[in-house]
A and B are shown apart, each in its own frame.
Chain A
Amino acid sequence: MDAFSAVLQGLPMTLLLTVSAFVIGIVGAVPLAVGLSSPNAVLRLVCRLFVDLVRGVPIIVWLFLLKFGIQIGTFKFNPVGAAIVGLGVVSIAYLAEIYRGGLESVPRGQNEAADALGLARSTTFYRVLVPQAFRIVSPSIATYLTGLLKDSSIASTIIVAEMVFQSQSFARQHPTVEGILPYVLVGILYIVLSLPVAYLSRSLDARMRKAVYA
């Protein structure tokens, strides 16, 4: 088997990890972002500490904690489960911070105008603030997604058979010069994979701009 097909064997797992963690993050970050911008100081502080703690500990530590440290009765995480949950929780924290930044960057006048018009708070939030915030943060979300794609490689350290893991095992079996190939190929593959995300973010940005300001 050549190096490229070896690396490609790990592609479905890399995509599975990235997409699952991203979905967990996108959804899970919503309540956390609301908490981060809550008028209740205690709630805000708790959410803030959670976000900063999750981001303050390297991903590899979270993965090892979940994989090796957690045992409840007979339940233990398998490597893939630990990787998805770990990357998912980290995504929740990062995306919540991005959402909060977006909500705060909507001009105060929008809130005041909505209040003056007598819109309900939920209407103001979902129909006025969120669409504008989403347009502001969509490039950051796309950047985060490419970062997450790269971070999914850390799952190889808890023996998840994604791309970097496959590169490693190919390289081990080929002690000759061609053993460097999988590392080069996998590096290029990550860069290539992040291109459509960058493209999507740009077109999404353009579409949202039109949707908001048409």
Chain B
Amino acid sequence: MEISYVGENLISGQLGNLFIILSFVCSGLAAFAYFKSIHSPELESASWKKMARTFFYIHVGSIVGMVSILFYLLFNHHFEYYYVWRHSSTDLAMRYIFSCFWEGQEGSFMLWSLWHGVLGIILLNTSKKWEAGTMTVLSVVQLLLGSMLLGVYIFDIQIGSNPFILLREHPDMLNLPFVQNPEYLNFVEGTGLNPLLQNYWMTIHPPIVFLGFALTLIPFTFAITSLYIKDYTSWLKPALPWTFFGIAVLGLGVLMGGAWAYEALSFGGFWAWDPVENSSLVPWLILVGAGHLMLINKVKPNSMFSTYLFSVLSFLLVMYSSYLTKSGILGETSVHSFADGLPGQLIFILLFLVIGAFTLLAIRFKKLPKQQKEEELWSREFWMFLGALVLLISCFQITFSTSIPVINAIFGTEMAPPTNANEHYNSWQLPLATLVAIFIGIGHYLKYKKTDSKKFFKDTAVSAILSLVITIAVATSLQFQHYYHGLLMFAATYAVVANADYWFRILKGSIKKSGAAIAHIGFGFLLIGALISAGNKEIISRNNSEIEIKMNENENANKENIMLIKGDTVLMGNHFISYEGREKEGHNIYYKVNYYQIDDNGKYERQFQLRPFVQLNEQMGNVPEPATKHFWSRDIFTHVTYADLDDPALDDPNAYEEADTSLVKIGDTLFATNSIIVVKEVIKDIDLAANNLQPDDIAVGLRLEAMNVKGQTFDASPTLVIRQNRLFSIPSEVDPLGLKFNFKKINPETGEFTILKQEKTSNASDFIIMQAIVFPYINILWIGCIIMTLGSIIAVINRVRFPKLRS
């Protein structure tokens, strides 16, 4: 029997599916028509091209259509759609709806296709004689990506995964009872967005990374086209601005990912050599190599094979990275990989592109322009070529180590990724980065073809000496731990100084030609910032207490966490810190950690408060997020590693424990978890009216003084009242210490008083285990990133505006 469901918006999904099919078919037709136009005589070619453009515009229009529909469904919480249900929820703040869009695989493919479409429209209008070829390749890639959204079955093989599938029709849901309920929409609620992605970086980072990924496709299309039509050099000029724009955008995107990891994740740093990070860094490095090879081969086509290799490899590595992260092959090795992929289809797409590109390159290999004469040792092209090879080695190392799960899958081995990833990757990447930085420093002083070596040494000597002085000063004042940190420091400083010198002295500070110099200065700063902030990071929560529990003789128990009980003040690094307490706001529990310095009078002076928090999330698990205090010269990063989330005091912070009864005299002392209480005096002259007592009551108070660990004192005065023949007491609370006192009885013979002391439950149970790390000069890293992006963009703009300009 057909069930007629109530409240479903089916028309949007049908329209969305129409757009998916239209966009898929039109990308195929556009590819075909463009391909025909390459091979047709002039007149016919023009009409094929016109047709192809129409198909391509319809294709892009359809992508815009499906993207809009998915946004519409997300914004209006249409949980009848699986994607909406799976990636969002009603209580999610509107600004995170964008993150929901690209959290899932289908959404991220749509975003990626959309960027390809936008770039395709620009390419189609600007590339003139290259249009037919480049757009054929681009359309084929769009066809392949479009197939990832189809969600159809051919002989039981699933092709693509459809973003507009209904919740009740999703294979996981078919047998669930709600499917039989026509009014299921009344109670269905979305599962929500991964709490880690509920961060402002996650609204801007993915679109930028995907634009960067999309931009790697353009040099690929040019390279493939030129190989196909056997025109081996003239593609370099139109491809160059695209390549450097890609370098700017992807570089920015990769570092934004680092910024997000630093702000929102708790591993303590901006880079962890995680497979997902690696697989966006590698295409960027190759793209940088491709751009520089294009520059030297535009002048003299001496290393065209390498230029082709880099130009196609960057995009192929993007495809490989999307296979790694979306197919689920990373499995246990990555903190953030997606397992719900379609590995078969992704492998097919990847192999199709790799085999296609390399076959074409192999066929044409013999016909590529040959090196006329060996490169001079003292030429710019020789060292730029070497630099590109260093980047290639760097990428090979990162890719090989990241691909361990793939190697396991192919060869059936049982390798696990290196336990200490940082050590493993850094042992290669640090020396390679040092080499690259040196090349960046000398590059501009080398001339194309041949350089006068005397002039070269004279030009670069001052920068080298200055860099050496700076390096020695920095290395001694920050106490570098390893000599190779000093080497990298020198190389990176040299990259900055030499390029600044080149910009001001040789280019006379002109902006027009400055792009490369500025970008290189930025890269140098980036390396310096990364080196100092990571190499000299200091874990200030390291436990220095005398009590050391050794697990066994060989190994010390690690001690990098610190325990803070509410109200305690402890010395950590050069700060005194105290844990003030916790606060529940919505889904988050904030832990308020105060940082103090002692002023001249020996008083604690609060400098700032950090509020690391734990987000409670039933579906995804509870997620801790760090809090960081930024200073210009360092960051203090604070992160709760453990807190008891099941503590009953969390729900009722004002609950008291059972009372303690004590017999005391004046001058006696009582102890609480967070304070010492002294019985000061008996108060006899109690103002009855002010305490709402009756005129013939007899009231006696007891003044108590509680002193906390910081030496602050608080008064309490519980009162005993005698009314006619009955005794009762008025309790007194010390709120800041979570204490409550009751005065119960006086024993006139012994002069003793009976006092009940109660502590708040949270006094004993409220503690956190915390880690704090100081990152010195991390701002240099971010500034370097911004400068590098600006420099690259200046270079692109000037290349587009002044095409004749020589670099």
User: Do A and B share a complex?
Assistant: no
